[in-house]
Amino acid sequence: MRVTVQVAPDIARKLNRGGSLGKACSELNGVLNNFSVKLVPLHPGIDDEALGSYFAVEVPDSETAKTVVRYLRPCRGIRAAYIKPADALPKL
């Protein structure tokens, strides 16, 4: 299951360059470490600042996803955190 996360541009630049978040994002680091997950770019290698701010967190189940979202949303630098809806065929 995937949690989609949008981060602030300064955090996105650090993450997209492979750098660490450092002490400025200790709250975000704490959440990621607590759940043993990492932010993975949704659009790796892209130069577009808007698209480069989207990341994914893979979690094992929906309950963990809900908990991760609840902890990520109040973190400084997080613009959005939501559970990716299941893929489905369009209804006719």
pTM to 2 decimals? 0.85
Please give the mean pLDDT across all residues of the chain: 89
Q: Where are the domains of the chain?
A: 2-83
pLDDT reported for residue 71: 96
User: pLDDT (tens digit, 9 = 90+) per residue, 49-58?
Assistant: 899 999 999 9
Bridge partner residues of 82 (DSSP): 4
Tokens of 51: 């698209």
| Ranges under pLDDT 70 in the chain | 19-20, 22-24
pLDDT reported for residue 92: 78
The CATH architecture assigned to 2-83 reads: 2-Layer Sandwich (3.30)
